[in-house]
Amino acid sequence: MNSSEKYRIYLDTGGTFTDVVVVRHDGSFFRGKSLTTYKNLEECFFNGISAAAESAGKTSQELLSSANEIGYGTTIGTNIMVTGKGGPKIGFITTKGHEDRTHIMRQRSAGLAPEDALHMISADKPKPLVPRMLIKGVTERVDSKGDVLIPLRDEEVEQAVKELIEAGVDGIAVGLLWSFLNSVHEDRCEEIIHGIDPEMAISLSHYVMPVVREYPRFLSCIIDLYIGKPLKKLLQRIENRLGEFGYHKPLLVMQAIGGVSQAKVVKPATTLHSGPVGGMIGVGFIKELYGYQNAVGSDVGGTSFDITISSPTREEFIREPVVGRYEIANPMRGYYYRCGRRNHSMG
């Protein structure tokens, strides 16, 4: 192997294995594989790179210092949602009178397998990501044109934040009505929160997904924080170690929309189900290569089983997908069905 060669490195951490593919400048490639280390996902990331480097007679230092690009797909957020484990304790501040919005849901059948949806009356709602006691309403109102009808009452926000901090939350999500048209009140909430606790993790709905329909937007905001704290810590540790190996370019993170984002600015909610989307893009490429109209791909992982359907009759993007039993506002590419260990969910 020529020491002057440049490589592109792509990793995917699943429920059981972390897989690595290294592509040379001429399109040839070599691979590596390591067991996923749940308690320290940074470890399996670099174990996989080490395995790939060893297969090509290189050290990790030599491989990483010669890399032009590193892309990373991880199921950490998806697994937190599927298993219900690993997410932080978070609070939610919303417009007064809408404290129960995320608990009421839009439809009780969301995320149920077809056979379970036939018996919807006996189906339970999913466990709320934020308990009712950790949801606080504040006086404010922005209308559908983005005009402020009722100014935000700072003292109510301050009281809500102090109560949530006393309850031991690790982060606070803020979702107010029509904030995507005028974010002045959500921005002010952020200022107040950081004025009380500068280190508090915050998620704002107008930033996470600035779209109409408060229920999926609020859930996207909550989920972004729910999976975001562990994901951001992981990405930061990985980038720090990559720098020690001589790789100083941004780490690229796979998104469910089908592209990538730099790790420092990625919105955690956009990484949900990005693994199946990456597989769907691959299935679509192979389908076109062989001239087929339809194709089905499957991925058997350690946490879930995913099926992707590539068909000209399907919409390319899902506007409001369902993750677990939760409807969110983050668009996802393609159409797939996921079967987890403990529940079913339709993408």
Q: Contact 165/158 with Cβ under 8 angstroms?
A: no
Q: Residue 148 falls within a domain, yes or no?
A: yes
Which pLDDT belongs to residue 156? 98
Domain identity same for 138 and 242: no
Q: What is the mean pLDDT of residues 297-311?
A: 75
96 and 203 assigned to the same domain: yes
**Domain check: are 144 and 210 in the same one?**
yes
Please, which pLDDT band fits residue 343 given cuts at 50, 70 and 90?
very low
Q: What is the CATH classification number for the domain harbouring 110?
A: 3.40.50
The residues that bridge with 306 in the sheet, in sequence order, are 299, 338
In a domain, 298, yes or no: yes
Please tell me which of 74-88, 176-190, 284-298 the model is most confident about, judged by mean pLDDT: 176-190
Domain that includes residue 38, residue range? 7-79+231-271
In a domain, 140, yes or no: yes
Q: Are residues 122 and 168 in the same domain?
A: yes
Q: Of 245, 271, 297, which residue constitutes the final position of a domain?
A: 271
- Statement to judge: residues 264 and 224 lie in one domain: no
Rounded mean pLDDT of the chain?
86
When computed from its CA atoms, the radius of gyration of the chain, rounded to whole angstroms, is 22
Domain assignment of residue 26, yes or no: yes
Kindly tell me the burial class for residue 82, based on how many C-beta atoms sit within 10 Å of its own C-beta (0-12, 13-18, 19 or more).
buried
How wide is the angle at C-alpha 18 spanned by C-alphas 11 and 63, nearest 5°?
A: 50
Same domain, 223 and 325: no
Grouping H, G, I as helix, E, B as strand and the rest as coil, residue 248 is: coil
Cα–Cα distance, 221 to 173 (Å, whole number): 6
What pLDDT score was predicted for residue 342? 39
**Domain count for the chain:** 3
Instruction: Enumerate long-range contacts of 260-266, CB under 8 Å, 24 or more apart.
Output: 260/71, 263/72, 263/235, 263/236, 263/238, 263/239, 264/235, 264/239, 266/235
Domain assignment present for 61: yes
Contact 208, 269 (CB under 8 A): yes
- Tell me: do 45 and 165 sit in the same domain: no
**Residue 54 maps to which CATH number?**
3.30.420.40
Q: Do 251 and 333 have their domain in common?
A: no
Beta strands in 170-302, from DSSP E residues, in sequence order: 171-175, 201-204, 252-254, 260-262, 295-300
Percent of the chain at pLDDT exceeding 70? 92
Q: Which residues fall within 8 angstroms of residue 236, CB to CB, at 6 or more apart? A: 263
One domain, residues 281 and 334: yes
Question: Given this model, what pLDDT does residue 230 score?
Answer: 87
153 is written with which tokens? Answer: 């009452």
Residue 173 three-state SS: strand
What's the number of CA atoms in the CB half-sphere (13 Å) around residue 250?
10
- 195, HSE (Cβ side, Cα atoms, 13 Å): 12
- Considering the domain architecture, whether residues 220 and 235 belong to the same structural domain is answered as no
Residue 108 lies in a domain: yes
Res. 1 pLDDT band, cuts 50 70 90: very low
In this prediction, residue 313 has a pLDDT band, given cuts at 50, 70 and 90, of: low
Q: Of 202, 228, 254, which residue is a domain's last?
A: 228
Alpha carbons 205 and 269: distance in angstroms, whole number? 11
State pLDDT tens for residues 14-65. 878 899 999 998 888 999 999 988 888 899 999 999 999 999 899 999 999 9
Are 142 and 186 members of one domain?
A: yes
In this predicted structure, the answer to whether residue 209 has a pLDDT above a threshold of 80 is yes
The per-residue pLDDT for 315 is 56
Q: How many CB atoms lie within 10 A of CB 147?
A: 11
pTM: 0.83
Q: Are residues 96 and 224 in the same domain?
A: yes
Rounded mean pLDDT of 116-127? 76
**pLDDT value, residue 191:** 98
2 inside domain: no
Cα torsion 80, 81, 83, 85 to 10°: value is 40
What count of other Cβ atoms lies within 10 Å of the Cβ of residue 224? 28
Residue 118 has a pLDDT of: 74
- The answer to the question of residue 1 being in a domain is no
The last residue of one of the domains, among 241, 271, 301, is 271
Tens digits of per-residue pLDDT, 175-202? 999 999 999 999 999 999 999 999 999 9
